[in-house]
């Protein structure tokens, strides 16, 4: 970490408070960032980091507080004013128009034109190429966004900001969607930018990256500023404890186990995606009892289609799926569920819960037709209520109110409702798709513990995750999926991030086991 000693203040946010209805998203936050500095904003999901940055970028107005850019007070009424003041923001969910080209996206809103408002694309392209060379951000100016990699899309976002003359760059969770190699490239880009005097604010909850690139780190918890620390003299543990407000266990505690019989066997599976392209393309895989098999891969390599295929939500073109030696290919979701496969779906709000149903109703979604929950088609409210209360106690779901709508629960508690429901089916195979996405550290700990417990009961667990750290920490074996195929299977303790990252990007191979 090179502290470039330019003590010029680029950004000062003073006493920022933002209230949405009766919810305080930011409370009296002070943030100062100097030129040439990388400043990290650390906090759990929903802590208010993004809100604070949206205020700086003019998307929200602060309820109380003042923003100073280069020592002058500025009222950020809208993004235009932020842009004029040299602020650029790369949002977590890219703000790119998919059917447009790279250049069109970059110039949108600040177009180069000739007479009569005609677009001057050549002029724009040459400007884009100039910037791209200056900062080492390689892009293809004529490619359409829908055809380029996520890494390049991110570079387009950064170029969009630089094209507008950004001196202060906000990156919201920039590494969430990148492969390890792409993360390394991004770090190089960030160093390059700070060398040229630009300052960067990076929103993240990944401690390792903060240690790697940030100079200072401001920690926010539940909308309040906990501390601002010099990264070079702090540790990851200290940052984590400040972020969560208690001691956090990083390592998932699990004992050695030998794997048992094959539970799920997938043979040469082919499944098409919505566009009619083979998303799962000749995939074979075995999951054993008493193991957690992790599937690692970059988003969009067939993970979603694979899960939907296994649980009967998507048509299988060819190949075979066997559950404990019983062929379940092409069965209905209900039949598959009854063959002891349970799923924690990727999108808990769309697929996992009916948000406007109560917690108790959500808990019997899969068994409502069975006794004792219903008899001759009539629901037995008392039995359902009793069952739900029991689960709420057992799985520590808060608040303890089974009549509350699922919508009213926090993400972590919503996930607990799903886990409670799925585990009471006593599955032989538990499929967990992105089970910790968007959860905070405490809830992540809980989910991981549940998965390991399932394994220790000699059940099979199939974990699909985009978070490499999660797969490496929790799984016993790791299968890497690339373009709809398993390109390698490795023992989790015998591999490392770089080897996996290479396989995820389609290079290298693991030992086929």
Interacting residues toward other proteins by CB under 8 A: 20, 57, 59-60, 78-80, 83, 89, 91, 95-100, 104-105, 107-111, 113, 116-119, 160
Residue with tokens 């599955």: 427
Write the DSSP symbol of residue 349.
I
Residue number, 124 or 341, with CB nearest to other proteins: 124
Smallest gap from Cβ 243 to other proteins, in A, equals 22
**Closest approach of other proteins to the CB of residue 411, in Å:** 14
CB of 203 to other proteins, least distance (A): 15
Q: In residues, how long is the chain?
A: 513
Q: Contact at 8 Å (CB) between 322 and 311? A: no
Q: How far is the CB of 367 from other proteins (least distance, A)?
A: 35
C-beta closer to other proteins: residue 160 or 272: 160
119 vs 248, beta carbon nearer other proteins? 119
Q: How far is CA 378 from CA 369, 372, 381, in A?
A: 9, 10, 9
> Please, are residues 16 and 56 in contact by the beta-carbon 8 Å criterion?
no
CB 204 within 8 A of CB 41: yes
**Chain-centroid distance, C-alpha 99:** 24
Nearer to other proteins, 59 or 270 (CB): 59
User: Is the Cβ of residue 86 or residue 488 nearer to other proteins in the bound state?
Assistant: 86
C-beta of 349 vs 385, nearer to other proteins? 349
Residue 116: C-alpha distances to residues 111, 112, 120, 403 (Å) = 13, 12, 11, 62
Shortest distance (Å) from residue 95 CB to other proteins: 4
In the complex with other proteins, which residue's Cβ is closer, 145 or 471? 145
Nearest to 148 by CA among 213, 92, 96: 96
- Radius of gyration over alpha carbons of the chain, in Å? 25
Give the nearest distance from C-beta 91 to other proteins in angstroms. Answer: 7
Tokens 């808060």 map to which residue? Answer: 398
What per-residue string of b and e applies to 311-347 under the rule 16 or more CB within 10 Å gives b? bbbbebeebebbbbeeebbebeeeebbebbbbbbbbe
Q: Which is nearer to other proteins, 99 or 253 (CB)?
A: 99
Cα 215 from Cα 233, distance rounded (Å): 10
Considering the complex, what minimum distance in angstroms separates the CB of residue 31 from other proteins? 21
CB of 224 to other proteins, least distance (A): 19
Choice between 100 and 357, CB closer to other proteins: 100
Cα 425 to Cα 344: distance, rounded to the nearest angstrom: 12
Distance CA 295, CA 284 (A): 12
How many of the other CB atoms lie within 10 Å of CB of 309? 26
Phi-psi category of residue 330: left, alpha or beta, with phi > 0 → left and psi -120 to 50 → alpha: left
Residue 96, SS3 per DSSP:
coil
Residue 97 CB, nearest approach to other proteins (Å): 5
CB of 167 to other proteins, least distance (A): 17
Rounded Cα–Cα distance for residues 243 and 65 (Å): 23
Nearer to other proteins, 118 or 398 (CB): 118
CB 270 within 8 A of CB 319: yes
């Amino acid at each position: 970490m090179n502290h470039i000693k330019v003590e010029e203040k680029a950004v000062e946010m003073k006493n920022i408070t933002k209230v949405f209805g009766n919810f305080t998203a930011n409370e009296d936050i002070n943030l100062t960032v100097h030129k040439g500095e990388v400043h990290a904003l650390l906090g759990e999901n929903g802590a208010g980091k993004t809100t604070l940055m949206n205020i700086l970028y003019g998307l929200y107005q602060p309820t109380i507080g003042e923003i100073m850019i280069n020592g002058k007070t500025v009222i950020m009424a809208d993004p235009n004013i932020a842009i004029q003041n040299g602020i650029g923001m790369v949002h977590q969910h890219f703000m790119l128009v998919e059917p447009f080209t790279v250049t069109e996206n970059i110039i949108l809103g600040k177009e180069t034109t000739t007479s009569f408002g005609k677009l001057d694309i050549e002029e724009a392209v040459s400007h884009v190429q100039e910037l791209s060379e200056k900062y080492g951000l390689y892009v293809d100016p004529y490619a359409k966004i829908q055809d380029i990699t996520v890494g390049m899309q991110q570079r387009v976002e950064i170029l969009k900001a630089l094209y507008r003359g950004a001196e202060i760059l906000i990156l919201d969770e920039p590494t969430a969607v990148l492969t390890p190699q792409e993360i390394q490239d991004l770090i190089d880009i960030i160093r390059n930018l700070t060398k040229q005097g630009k300052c960067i604010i990076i929103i993240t909850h990944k401690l390792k990256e903060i240690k790697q690139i940030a100079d200072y780190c401001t920690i926010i918890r539940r909308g309040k500023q906990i501390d601002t620390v010099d990264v070079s003299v702090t540790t990851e543990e200290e940052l984590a404890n400040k972020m969560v407000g208690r001691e956090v266990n990083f390592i998932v505690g699990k004992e050695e186990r030998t794997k048992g019989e094959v539970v799920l066997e997938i043979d040469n599976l082919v499944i098409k995606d919505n566009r009619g392209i083979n998303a799962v393309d000749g995939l074979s895989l075995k999951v054993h009892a008493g193991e957690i098999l992790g599937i690692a891969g970059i988003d969009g390599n067939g993970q979603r289609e694979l899960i939907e295929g296994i649980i009967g939500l998507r048509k299988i073109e060819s190949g075979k799926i066997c559950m404990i030696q019983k062929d379940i290919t092409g069965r209905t979701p209900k039949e598959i569920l009854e063959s002891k496969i349970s799923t924690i779906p990727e999108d808990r709000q769309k697929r996992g819960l009916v948000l406007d149903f109560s917690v108790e109703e959500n808990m019997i979604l899969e068994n409502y037709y069975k006794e004792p929950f219903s008899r001759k088609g009539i629901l037995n409210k008392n039995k359902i209520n009793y069952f739900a209360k029991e689960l709420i106690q057992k799985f520590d779901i808060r608040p303890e109110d089974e009549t509350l709508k699922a919508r009213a629960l926090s993400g972590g508690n919503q996930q607990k409702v799903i886990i409670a429901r799925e585990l009471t089916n006593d599955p032989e195979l538990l499929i967990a798709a992105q089970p910790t996405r968007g959860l905070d550290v405490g809830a992540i700990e809980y989910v991981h513990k549940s998965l390991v417990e399932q394994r220790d009961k000699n059940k099979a667990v199939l974990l699909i995750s985009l978070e490499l750290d999660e797969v490496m920490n929790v799984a016993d074996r790791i299968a890497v999926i690339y373009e709809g195929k398993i390109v390698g299977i490795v023992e989790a303790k015998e591999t490392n991030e770089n080897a996996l990252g290479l396989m995820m990007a389609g290079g290298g191979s693991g030992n086929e086991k």
